[in-house]
Structure 1
Amino acid sequence: MNVVEVKGTELEDAFQIRREVFVEEQGVPLQDEFDGYDESGAAARHILVYYEDQPAATGRLRWLGDTAKLERICVRAAMRKFGLGSVVVKSLEKIAQEEGFCKAKIHAQTQAQNFYERLGYRQTSEEFMEDGISHIVMERTI
Structure 2
Amino acid sequence: MFMGEYRHTIDQKGRLIIPSKFRDDLGDKFVATKGLDRCLFVYSPDEWSNLEQRLKALPLTNKDARAFVRFFFAGATECEIDKQGRILLPANLREYASLVKDVVLVGVLTRVEIWSKDIWDEYNEQANLDHESIAERMADLGI
What's the TM-score bracket when you normalise by the shorter of the two chains?
A: under 0.3
What is the TM-score of this pair, normalised by structure 1?
Answer: 0.25
Mark the structure with the bigger radius of gyration: 2
